[in-house]
Structure 1
């Protein structure tokens, strides 16, 4: 079997459109986040912050970033630790707060009490 590519087919344009469409399908939501000045960002998060970020009076960057899902974003943002605060969507913010509270409950208020 032999395949003949149409003469007017532009592979570069097709590939660019395919990648754009893929990312549009992949990132179905958005999150509003606040990032510390020292946050180490990579990939789509870094691109989104560079494109839409604004710095507040404390030097933190507010940006709307694409997310695949609340489940995926939950893991991605947890990796940033205290360098990120999720502001929206509410269900993602609440889920991260619950996840952060679980180990704190196991260890008690050690850091708050100042016990060393």
Structure 2
């Protein structure tokens, strides 16, 4: 996990200051793709390498993109309906935020 974080941090640094960190990012990508036994690290290294070599602008958009805020929608659902949806969590009722009776005719 630390190695993945370091790889991502170095790529982000390269995207912000390419002239100062070009040798560093090349060395780290080389280590990640050739000398690592960790398949996740190796795969991410190849992905970053491919992104940076083919389209640096796209790499910048992907790697430096802002993460969306995580919001809780449970406050928007009335408590009685929420309790009923939790009881039927494995059904479509919980997906559509409707009680199970809304899906039955009659």
Q: TM-score, normalised by structure 2?
A: 0.22
Task: Specify the structure having the higher radius of gyration (Cα).
Answer: 2
Q: Which has the higher contact order (CA 8 A, sep 6+)?
A: 1
Larger strand percent: 1
TM-score by length of 1: 0.20
Q: Name whichever structure is richer in helix by fraction.
A: 2
